[in-house]
Structure 1
Amino acid sequence: MSHLIDSYRLISSKLKKKKFPMRKPNYSEAIDQYAQIMNSFKREGNLMYAAFCCLSIGRCEQAIKNASSAEASCYIDSGYLMWESELRSYEDDFISFEENVTEAINCYLLAIKIYQNYKRFSIMGTLFFELASILKRLNKYEEAAEYFHKASEIMRTESPITAINALKEATKCKILECDYKGACDLLDGMVAIATESIQQDKRTAQVLANQVEQHQLQQQYHSYPLSASSSLSLSLYPYALIEARVSLILLYILQDNFLKSQSHLGKLVNDITEHEGQSSDLTEESIALLNNLLMACERKETNGLQAIQRELWSSLSDVQNDILQKIWCANKMLL
């Protein structure tokens, strides 16, 4: 191991020395040397030094060609190796000062900045999402929620369903942090994206219908099919809308904001009616139970809450059931 470290330091010192002021260092040669040492570090399980080598390669790429995709890839690989090193310590219950976390985040942000210059928004969104997912695994929920939210903002135009998924993950982090107001704000964002996307799909469908009507030919219809993404969104956006709406109802009940909860309950009924058959597995009985839950909590009639919880359990997601359990625990204290 020590000889590899010495080799790494030797290459770095050569790049810093300037024997000839007008002559640039041989960065291409240094890249090959760093790559060889990096692979040796990986084989020996020293991920941090492998990450340092990868970061050095990125700096060499920067010196050769400013802000290239090769440079960005090196930063991503370096950050990923740092994450792997940190996660190993975390999963093995080793004491860690988490100094690698900040370095790994910085590596990802450097790569994102490069892709921003190239306007590669899909890659930027993916990197923010990956960054947030790892932070969530490390139980850093506040930071994870921030980067999930950034991923959603970037992907909102290019892939609304991906943006909704990122907001969904951010909401989970907010709930784990007991930041229920922040979770509601994110869910409102999910509702807005889903509603806009549903309206866009309706306009697209109407345009296609008009084209079919104008041409009066069945073959012409096949020339203007709905895209795969549009067909997919027609089934997913209503589902996402209603899932977010149910979560909002439960979170507002948990915060004793019964007026807002009642408002979303009314909107939920309208949404289910409008998108009947393609939006949710919620039944009329489930809606009635949500209403009973709302009224029971508002009136502080806690005796029947456990029965309502049992009846609702199978209709809700895991996160929603966690909120429901928090509602039960909060009201149980009133007994």
Structure 2
Amino acid sequence: MPMLLSVGLPGLFCFPTVTMAAESDFLTRYRAVSNKLKKRFLRKPNVAEASEQFGQLAKELKQQDCLQYAAFCNLAMARCEQTLFNAPGEALALTEAARLFLSSEKETRALQAPGFDEHLQAALNCYSFAIKVYIEMNQPMMAASLCLEVGNALKEINRPGEAIVHFQRAAELQTQMPIEALLSMGEMATCKIITRDYDGALSVFTEMQLMCQERGLQLPGTSTPVGAFLDIVAKCEISRVLLLMLLEPPPQKLLPEHAQTLERYAWESFDPHSQVTFLPENVFLLLQSVVMACQEKDTESLKSLQTELWPFLTAEQNHLLHLVVQERIMPSGQGI
């Protein structure tokens, strides 16, 4: 397993929370089990027994809050399971090692201790190999769940830019489950907004809306999605309109799908009996007023509309609306 070569057993100085006696005991037991795996003349190593002993040692170390040591024992266990061609056992051991490394990283950050993100990198390596094993086992949903786990972990430690690729990978693995794929794409869009990649977020929301309309359940004889798909379309519609107001692309650079969206918010286009907007009538009218206020550069009306719209929007959408208002107050672009 190449990953085990890149994540070796660390020196004792890396673990100040563990007593020297405990370190010595751990290394003695770890080496004793490892020695059982050495090939001897006319004697085959008992890999299954070694895997079980590594697993037991990992449990004990985890209970003692020696997370890094426990993680390395799980890595050794994964190597044994790979030798035994037990892919499910290998994936589980790798996943447990990844979670232990990640917990160790969070502890280090909570203590504000100096470090080089070595435990985070070890966790990412373990997750990567576990995902690969699940894909080889033809279990894309398990692989996708780990991608989401990595993405959420990176987002939690304020690394949304790095999380994007993992949410994207999850969405790709969830192609047979549209709702789950859409939720993963929504996480991508959120990370892009956090990193101020508003063009990227707009592209993701547009793709999500198109996907809902193409693959979602629809009312008979209409192109209107129903159920969860309608909720996602409505969220995408609001977010897209707000992002377009924030970005203000010039007409010559406005993509056809974005121009079509904005056309729906022209005063003369509204039909209260039409379902084309995917939004409740009151929300549509308020959003339509926002578009008109932006076009007219009417800052006072925009502030008033922000107050009225606030209860109907998500926290993320309210953040976008706030940016739109700030951009109108500081039109030089300092609001973005």
The verdict on a shared fold, with TM-score over 0.5 as the criterion, is yes
1:27 aligns with 2:42: no
Pick the aligned partner of 1:12 from 34, 39, 43. Answer: 34
Q: Paired residue for 1:177?
A: 195
Q: 2-side partners of 1:79 and 1:137: how far apart?
A: 16
Bigger mean CA deviation after superposition, 82-91 or 69-78:
82-91
Q: Paired residue for 2:84?
A: 64
Whether the 8 Å contact between 2:148 and 2:170 is mirrored in structure 1 is yes
Q: Paired residue for 1:191?
A: 209
1:315 aligns with 2:335: no
Which residue type is aligned with residue 52 of structure 2? Answer: D
Pick the aligned partner of 1:117 from 136, 145, 150. Answer: 136
Pairs aligned (count): 298
Whether the 8 Å contact between 2:168 and 2:184 is mirrored in structure 1 is yes
Q: Paired residue for 2:226?
A: 234
Whether the 8 Å contact between 2:36 and 2:46 is mirrored in structure 1 is no
Deviations, residues 293-314 of structure 1 (Å, cap 9, x unaligned): 2233233332322112111111
Give the C-alpha shift of residue 13 in structure 1. Answer: 4.4
Which residue type is aligned with residue 241 of structure 2? Answer: I
Unaligned runs of 5+ in 2: 1-21
Q: Paired residue for 1:304?
A: 301
1:88 aligns with 2:124: no
Pick the aligned partner of 2:72 from 35, 47, 52. Answer: 52
Pick the aligned partner of 1:333 from 327, 330, 334. Answer: 330
Q: Paired residue for 1:145?
A: 164
When residues 274 and 305 of structure 1 are mapped into structure 2, their CA distance, relative to the original with a 3 A threshold, is closer
Unaligned runs of 5+ in 1: 207-232
Give the C-alpha shift of residue 287 in structure 1. Answer: 2.0
Q: 1-side partners of 2:299 and 2:122: how far apart?
A: 49
Q: 1-side partners of 2:174 and 2:29: how far apart?
A: 43
Q: 2-side partners of 1:50 and 1:273: how far apart?
A: 60
Whether the 8 Å contact between 1:129 and 1:147 is mirrored in structure 2 is yes
Which residue type is aligned with residue 284 of structure 2? Answer: I
Which residue type is aligned with residue 32 of structure 2? Answer: L
Q: Paired residue for 1:97?
A: 116
Whether the 8 Å contact between 2:131 and 2:146 is mirrored in structure 1 is yes
Q: 1-side partners of 2:26 and 2:43: how far apart?
A: 28
Q: 2-side partners of 1:334 and 1:114: how far apart?
A: 51
Per the alignment, in what secondary structure is the counterpart of residue 19 of structure 1?
A: coil
Deviations, residues 160-192 of structure 1 (Å, cap 9, x unaligned): 111111111111111000011111121122112
Give the C-alpha shift of residue 89 in structure 1. Answer: 2.4
Give the C-alpha shift of residue 36 in structure 1. Answer: 2.2
Which residue type is aligned with residue 53 of structure 2? Answer: Q
Per the alignment, in what secondary structure is the counterpart of residue 300 of structure 2?
A: coil
RMSD over aligned CA atoms reads 2.6
Give the C-alpha shift of residue 272 in structure 1. Answer: 8.8
Per the alignment, in what secondary structure is the counterpart of residue 234 of structure 1?
A: coil
Give the C-alpha shift of residue 19 in structure 1. Answer: 3.1
Pick the aligned partner of 1:136 from 143, 146, 155. Answer: 155
Pick the aligned partner of 2:239 from 239, 247, 253. Answer: 247
When residues 55 and 263 of structure 1 are mapped into structure 2, their CA distance, relative to the original with a 3 A threshold, is same
Give the C-alpha shift of residue 265 in structure 1. Answer: 3.9
Q: Percent identity?
A: 30
Q: 2-side partners of 1:271 and 1:30: how far apart?
A: 70
Give the C-alpha shift of residue 318 in structure 1. Answer: 0.8
Give the C-alpha shift of residue 14 in structure 1. Answer: 4.4
Give the C-alpha shift of residue 275 in structure 1. Answer: 7.4
Deviations, residues 116-175 of structure 1 (Å, cap 9, x unaligned): 122111111111111111111111101211111111111122x11111111111111110
TM-score, normalised via structure 1 length: 0.81
Which residue type is aligned with residue 325 of structure 1? Answer: H
1:294 aligns with 2:294: no
Give the C-alpha shift of residue 112 in structure 1. Answer: 1.4
Which residue type is aligned with residue 307 of structure 2? Answer: R
Per the alignment, in what secondary structure is the counterpart of residue 274 of structure 1?
A: coil
Whether the 8 Å contact between 1:58 and 1:74 is mirrored in structure 2 is yes
Bigger fraction of residues in helix: 1
Q: Paired residue for 1:218?
A: none
Q: Paired residue for 1:274?
A: 275
